[in-house]
Amino acid sequence: MKKPLFTVAVPATTANLGPGYDSVGMALSLYMTVDVTEAVEWSVHYEGEEYTGLPTDDKNLIVQTIQDVAGRYGKEVQPHALHIASDIPLGKGLGSSATAIAAGIEIANELLGLSLTPQEKVQIGSENEGHADNVAAALLGGVTVAYFVENELEVIQLPQPVIGVVILVPPNVLKTSESRGLLPRELPHSAASTGNAASNVMLTAISLGDWQLAGKMMEKDVFHEQYRKPLLKDFDHIRTFCHELGAYGMTVSGAGPSLFVAVKEGLQEEIAKQLEEEFPYYRAVAATPSSIGSTIKKDA
């Protein structure tokens, strides 16, 4: 096997954090790594059975993103082989598609010597993804807040959160398109105002490191949770149990079906074990926020 030219690592993400719908993302300490090797044609190899069925040629999302970036700058990119290992569950609301897009952007940037700025990377990723929350966090790391409307992008990073994280991952897959189809086309002005207030307070609390308040606001979403939770087994029981365990808050991870639980730093392993024992339908994954986004490593 040829030695890779370089390796790209991209973190998983959780989006929304409740009322921060389509704008807030958090990078997590679960990663996809892509070894990039010279080849005569595009080929993609995934480790693990979970990714069986994904395209392994130039129809793959990572390859399509590489070619899209090249086309934007009037360049051609030679075929390469991609070898992928991932801790990120597929189709479970942890930004697997945004992770692939971020990886494609980083690979194109490296292969073509584009020297893209972080803002340019997030702009391309948001246009490809259709929204900025996951892809901004995947590329930049930490907690990101993005405004992306009609291709106008503004994105900021909040201070690194000092929390532990538990992700409850069910066995079923839920397509983002299916989950979005559950949402109403419109909300009453009063409901939107309530959701906006919850989001504002949540983000201010995160900035101040007040996760007690941030977790409380996470659970006051009006934009999507109530419409999606009927598909999420034991949702209300899990939230109640999380409160009993002293968690800061629990909400849907992205579009679901996984659940995001914010806990006191250092307690994530213990609380994950308790949640999995109480709700064996779910696999509980202990993690932390990732302070860094996508990175490239070259062997010396």
Q: What is the dihedral of CA 213, 218, 220, 223, to 10 degrees?
A: 150
Residue 280 is encoded by which pair of tokens?
């064996």
Superfamily for the 164-287 domain? GHMP kinase, C-terminal domain (3.30.70.890)
Structural Rg of the chain based on CA atoms: 19
Q: Do residues 244 and 211 touch, judged by C-beta distance below 8 A?
A: no
Tell me which H or E stretch contains 147.
Answer: strand 143-149
pTM: 0.95
Query: What single-letter DSSP state applies at residue 289?
Result: B
10-residue mean pLDDT profile of the chain (300 residues): values are 91 97 97 97 92 91 98 97 94 93 98 97 97 97 97 95 97 82 92 97 98 98 94 96 98 95 98 98 98 90
Tell me, what's the pLDDT at 1? 62
What's the rounded Cα separation, in Å, for the pair 10 and 20? Answer: 22
C-alpha 282/C-alpha 208 separation (Å) is: 32
> Residue 175's pLDDT is what?
78
* Backbone angle region of 95, left / alpha / beta, with phi > 0 → left and psi within -120 to 50 → alpha: left
- Burial label for 58, CB within 10 Å (0-12, 13-18, 19+), is middle
Check residue 300 and give its pLDDT: 58
Do the Cβ atoms of 40 and 2 come closer than 8 Å? no
pLDDT of residue 91: 87
pLDDT at 155: 97
* Other CB atoms within 10 Å distance of the CB of residue 221: 23
- CB distance 294 to 95 below 8 Å: no
The alpha carbon torsion through 181, 69, 89, 262 (nearest 10 deg) reads -80
Architecture of the domain delimited by 6-157+290-297: 2-Layer Sandwich (3.30)
Q: Could you give the residue range(s) of every CATH 3.30.230.10 domain in the chain? A: 6-157+290-297
At 154-200, the pLDDT tens digits run 999 999 999 999 999 999 887 777 888 889 999 999 999 999 999 99
- CATH 3.30.70.890 domain span(s) along the chain: 164-287
